[in-house]
Amino acid sequence: MTPVVQSFFHASTNTWSHLVSDPATRAALIVDPVLDFDPASGRVSSESAAALLAAAASANLALGWILETHAHADHLSAADWIKRRLGAQDTAPRIGIGAGIVAVQRHFREVFGLTDFAADGTPFDRLFADGERIALGSLEVEVIATPGHTSDGVSYRIGDAVFVGDTLFAPQGGTGRCDFPGADAATQYRSIRRLYALPETTRVFLCHDYPAAGAEAQSQTTIAAEKAGNVQLNAATTEADYIAFRSQRDAKLPVPRLLYPSLQVNIRAGRLPPADAGGRVFLRLPLVSDDA
């Protein structure tokens, strides 16, 4: 019941992506892949995603799934690029995310004025409900709904490992913010308590880490370490204290640098917006005026 996990750090967005495989069958999946994007130039590239595929090919792994923990607001997903890259194979990987993505799509359809966007869960291949299970070779992937940071948040438990998205950071980093549309600190508290009920030896694989200067980014921790030392929500933290802390902290946090580019792409499962008649692709930037 022990999957093999290779973790890849995307330094410009402090994001961890994970290549997960069953050593018995070489079946594999990817969690939270990143598409490279430079907002200053508008350049989109695939070096980071290609490194994941190179590692999979080197180990002769068969990729069956690309799993998103939520619609990220701080990096563009490479899910669609990976699926298209492997589309010539008999079985291209499927893209999965929590069923709450529909509410996220509907909200941001209005934000971006996407009148031609269905907001019905497409273009994801599978929307997961809490408790669903899928196979990874001889292993099983259990979907655990962990909303709070976003309304579509899920964690994926595979054997002795769980992939938690932005619900938890490393103990010194605390937990994900709860001020996005559909987010809620009380809901996140309960989601984290669900994770804390897992065996304490469970390996916790992170989606982000923000190390201090000179320190290495941390890709994983354990349930025991989180319960003992998470600086924002440990085993003794009450729900009231957590809600008060998050409310005060989130009010001071800046808007994520790639919020608007990320969500326009990520609600589409990593697809870029449709090209115009000239083949050009544009991202929208909703403006907010402080003028009366």
Count of alpha carbons within 13 angstroms of residue 263, beta-carbon side: 28
What's the average model confidence in pLDDT over 148-162?
Answer: 98
Task: Please state, in angstroms and rounded to a whole number, the distance separating the CA atoms of residues 201 and 195.
Answer: 12
Q: What is the pLDDT of residue 115?
A: 92
Tell me the percentage of the chain whose pLDDT exceeds 90. 94
Assigned fold of 4-254: Metallo-beta-lactamase; Chain A (3.60.15)
User: Which amino acid is located at 252 in the chain?
Assistant: K
User: Amino acid identity, residue 291?
Assistant: D
In this prediction, residue 192 has a pLDDT band, given cuts at 50, 70 and 90, of very high
Burial 277-289 (b: 16+ CB within 10 A, else e): eeeeeebeeeeee
Q: Where are the domains of the chain?
A: 4-254
Kind and range of the H or E element at 109?
A: helix 101-112
Q: What pLDDT was estimated at residue 1?
A: 72
Residue pair 33/78 in contact by the 8 Å Cβ criterion: yes
Task: Name the residue among 65, 79, 61 with its Cα closest to residue 22.
Answer: 61
> Can you give the pLDDT at residue 90?
59
User: Is the model's pLDDT at 138 over the cut of 80?
Assistant: yes
Whether this prediction's pTM lies above 0.85 is answered by yes
Question: Facing residues of 77 across strands?
Answer: 34
Is 69 in contact with 154 (CB distance < 8 Å)?
Answer: yes
